[in-house]
Amino acid sequence: MNNTSNTDANMTNTSLDIPAYLTIHLGDRYVSTVQLIVLNVIYIGIFLSGSIGNICTCIVIARNRNMHTATNYYLVSLAIADLLTLAIAWPPELYSIWEAYPFRFGGEFCILKSYIQEGTAYASVLTITAFTVERYVAICHPMRFQGFSNLSRSIKVIIAVWVASFSYALPYALYGKQFYYVQDPNTNEPLEDSLVCSIPFEYIDMMKIMFQVSTFAFFFLPMTIILVMYILIGITLYNSDMIGDNKSFSRSSKTSAASNSLGQRNSNHVYDPTKARKSVLKMLVAVVIAFFLCWAPFHSQRLMTLYITDWTPELHTIQTTLFYISGVLYFVSSTVNPILYNLMSKKFRQASKKTLCKCCFKKEFSSKASLFGNGTYRDRPSQYSYSRISRNGMIQSRSTTLHETSVADISVHRHHV
């Protein structure tokens, strides 16, 4: 603060260099050419992959009735939050790379962006937390899960999550405004190029409480719950793996003898519970790491902006670097979900392939079906080769529970002060 005040006094006594004066208070207006190219490639890639991936996620789940489960309803909720984030928050973020200030999207869009961006962030985190609790009950307490998880209950939880999220985000719609950040020290008139979309000075002290509560309620608390739940899930899977290995060893000789006596060969498609459990454990580790990496820089940048008052050139450099890192990771979270689904869920990959084939070759399939007449067996679509889940979301078997838990569940967001 002292450094800034001294500089202001010096410029007041001489002719005002507006670009230099704005740089002191708002940082660099433009980035280097190399940074511009790299950040544009990253942001455009994120937008394309996130939009296509999340739209495909919604289509795959909507068009496959056996994907209408409580788990996948949470995933649709996350996909919608990601799409809203990309549609509302991505355009001004990309533009800020070309020109950091002034804000050129208008006061109404500033309010809409602040509200939607914060609300979808809260909705994503709460949805992940609710989904994690459901996975914990499904794996660690499978008998209770039959009465705990059903589609109607999941829909109610999702609605409650969205209502609570946007209710808590209301202060950002009320106090987030477009305003002139810097005034001319000689005339006390606002500088037009200092127009920003943020929290005005008169509301900063009050909003600090909101920032502190949101950091605790939507980062530290969910992170703790997710970490504890996944540790318990990992322990349960490890113990069941040990028990399964002992049972398999005791039955191995009998199974081998029976197979040899009947002259049967071992199937190449036998379900391997150990392999399934290892896949689930990898997914759990990926979820926790991705959640932390995508959210930690955002909250660090926000708290740094709030509590540092004496800005030095070194702190400004750290803040700017953290701003771009948190921005990239924030939008990476909007595209990482579909990637995790396809990498870690065989069921989701099969449903995606089936839906894609239907969309691409629909005319070809319909023409072939007409050759066999109507109502014949060949007219009917082939069924999936994996286990189904009943319409009320109840798990039919312990092995199905393990298959369902392989669906990834992560997403993250940010809002700049």
Nearest Cα residue to 276 out of 345, 228, 230: 345
Query: What is the C-alpha to C-alpha distance for residues 182 and 189, in angstroms, rounded to an integer?
Result: 9
Say which residues have a Cβ less than 8 Å from residue 136's Cβ, sequence separation at least 6.
Answer: 229, 232, 233
What's the pLDDT score for residue 72? 86
Query: What is the C-alpha to C-alpha distance for residues 23 and 17, in angstroms, rounded to an integer?
Result: 10
Query: What is the C-alpha to C-alpha distance for residues 273 and 258, in angstroms, rounded to an integer?
Result: 21
Nearest Cα residue to 27 out of 38, 39, 19, 35: 19
**Angle of helix 33-63 relative to helix 313-344, nearest 10 degrees?**
30
The owner of tokens 């998880």 is 149
Query: What is the C-alpha to C-alpha distance for residues 178 and 197, in angstroms, rounded to an integer?
Result: 4
CA atoms within 13 A on the CB side of 276: 21
Tell me if 196 sits within 8 A of 182, measured CB to CB. Answer: no
* Number of neighbours of residue 384 by Cβ within 10 angstroms: 14
Query: What is the C-alpha to C-alpha distance for residues 414 and 298, in angstroms, rounded to an integer?
Result: 6
Q: How far is CA 366 from the centre of its chain?
A: 38
pTM to 2 decimals?
0.75
* Digitized pLDDT (tens) for each residue of the chain, 417 residues in all: 455 555 555 555 557 889 999 988 888 899 899 999 999 999 999 999 999 999 988 999 898 888 888 888 988 999 999 999 999 999 999 999 999 999 999 999 999 999 999 999 999 999 989 888 888 888 888 887 776 667 888 899 999 999 999 999 999 999 999 999 999 988 889 999 999 999 898 988 888 888 889 999 999 999 999 889 988 988 888 887 655 555 554 454 444 444 444 444 444 445 555 666 666 667 667 777 888 888 888 888 888 877 777 777 788 778 878 888 888 998 998 888 777 766 767 777 778 778 777 766 655 544 444 333 444 333 333 333 333 333 333 333 333 333 443 333 333 344 444
Q: Show the domains of the chain with their CATH numbers.
A: 2-249+272-367+399-404 (1.20.1070.10)
What's the pLDDT score for residue 403? 40
Query: What is the C-alpha to C-alpha distance for residues 198 and 179, in angstroms, rounded to an integer?
Result: 8
Say which residues have a Cβ less than 8 Å from residue 409's Cβ, sequence separation at least 6.
Answer: 74, 75, 78, 128, 131, 132, 135, 287, 337
The dihedral sign for the CA sequence 233, 238, 239, 245: positive
Tell me if 62 sits within 8 A of 398, measured CB to CB. Answer: no
What's the pLDDT score for residue 42? 94
**Cα separations (Å) of 188 from 26, 183, 184, 385?**
17, 5, 5, 72
* Number of neighbours of residue 39 by Cβ within 10 angstroms: 19
